[in-house]
Amino acid sequence: MGTIIEAKEFSYSYPRRDNQVLKNLNFKVEEGEFIAIMGRNGAGKSTLTQAFNGVIPHLHGGTIWGNILVDGVCSQETEITEMAQKVGVVLEDPEAQLFTTRVDDEMAFGIENLCLPREEIIERIKWATKVVRLEGFWDREPTALSGGQKQRCAIAATLAMKPKIMVLDEPTSQLDPIGTFEVFDVIKSLKEEYGMTVMVATHKSEHIAEYADRIMVLEAGEIVAFDTPQVIFRNSELLSHVAVRPPQVSALAAYLNSMGQNIKRSDYPLLIEEAEVVIRNLIGGASNGQ
């Protein structure tokens, strides 16, 4: 396993704008990692996700400084179509990326561009449809799907190409709790079974706490922290500064502390199971004290 994404002093400003939307980014992502990108609205998450396959700057224009190397290739100097074979980017707006008239055509489009044999194409469509649970919908019109189904369709369309790196921009913004859980489950299995590197821009703290290896926190285009969920979600000061919500159980621990309890910061729970232990200890400690 080596470094698969490396940003070196990368900055970007949109055309006809003076301010940099991404400022001097320096980071490395290892192969097979699951990275979450967090930050408030307008922090630059979507802009960054589009830099990985070169949509920024190729299609939007603007000015770049530095570069991002993706699998050894500079994404700013390579054609999007070539980058697309390494990086699959699922955009924020599902409507904008569905352009065929049938769900299975939508899924076929990317794989067909890779010049794979027909049997393989059919196989992969079946697989991707199953993964996102759209089995009964293959002959439906993508524009006639619900918001959540559209998002799954967009994910499957990219997934079917089996890229080395998947980048997803708020892939669960319109999904119900079960749908959200399923998508994160899929992402996790991609990572585990195929060694895929995954980068997800999302606000779903609970799922990130469970699945992500590291969290990149963006604030006004700068990386203000890039560390494990354990470190990030226990840093209440940082979180309130960047307007990122911690998992509810971590927030509970911080609240209990502010109410006079004494939970060590390194014990702040991230998952429900961890919270159970912490709370049992609290109750136990209280009853022992009596």
Partner 1 sequence: MSILDYHYGDSYVHRMDPRVKMILLVLLTIVVFIISNFYVLVTMFALVLLVWKTAKLPMKNIVRYMKFLLSLVAFLIVLQGLFFSSGDNPVILMHPIIPDVVPVIGGHGTIYLDGILFGLVLGLRLLTLVCIMPIFTMTTTISETALGLVKLGMNYKYAYMTTTALNLIPTLQEETKMIMDAQKMRGFKAFETGKLMEKLRAYVTLVVPLVVGSMRRAQLMGVAMEGRAFGAMKTRTYREDLNLRTRDIVCGVFVMLLCIGVVYFNIRLGGWY
Ligand X SMILES: Nc1ncnc2c1ncn2[C@@H]1O[C@H](COP(=O)(O)OP(=O)(O)OP(=O)(O)O)[C@@H](O)[C@H]1O
Stretch near ligand X under the rule CB under 6 A, chosen from 43-51, 106-114, 157-165, 282-290: 43-51
Q: Which two tokens stand for residue 27?
A: 């980071």
- Per partner kind, with CB cut-offs from 5 to 8 A, the member of ligand X, partner 1, Mg ion, none near residue 121 is partner 1
| Strands of the sheet with 22-30, listed across from one edge | 22-30, 3-13, 63-70, 73-74
Residues in 83-102 that interact with ligand X by CB under 6 A: 92
Please, is 286 exposed, middle or buried when counting C-beta atoms within 10 Å of its C-beta (0-12, 13-18, 19+)?
Answer: exposed
- Per partner kind, with CB cut-offs from 5 to 8 A, the member of ligand X, Mg ion, partner 1, none near residue 253 is none
Q: Can residue 61 be called a binding residue for ligand X (CB under 6 A)? A: no
CA dist., res. 264 & res. 229, Å (int): 16
Contacts for 175-178 with beta carbons within 8 Å, 24 or more apart?
Answer: 175/148, 175/151, 176/148
Interface characters, 79-108, with partner 1 (x: CB under 8 A): xxxx-xx--xx-x-x--xxxxxxx-xx--x
Q: Can residue 46 be called a binding residue for Mg ion (CB under 5 A)? A: yes
Q: Please enumerate in sequence order all residues whose Cβ is within 8 A of that of 25, keeping only pairs 6 or more positions apart, or say none.
A: 7, 9, 10, 11, 48, 66, 68, 222, 223
Stretch near ligand X under the rule CB under 6 A, chosen from 45-53, 101-109, 141-149, 192-200: 45-53
Nearer to partner 1, 63 or 113 (CB): 113
Q: Can residue 283 be called a binding residue for partner 1 (CB under 8 A)? A: no
CA angle, 46 as apex, 151 and 89 as ends, to 5°?
55
Kindly list the distances between the CA atom of residue 159 and the CA atoms of 1, 69, 86, 126, 174, in Å, as whole numbers in the listed order: 22, 22, 12, 12, 19
Binder to ligand X among 39, 54, 94, 110 (CB under 6 A)? 39
Shortest distance, position 262 Cβ to partner 1, whole Å: 51
Residues that bind ligand X (CB under 6 A): 14, 17, 21, 39, 41-47, 60, 92
User: Would you tell me which residues interact with partner 1 (CB under 8 A)?
Assistant: 50, 53, 55, 59, 79-82, 84-85, 88-89, 91, 93, 96-102, 104-105, 108-118, 121-122, 125, 139, 141, 157-158, 161
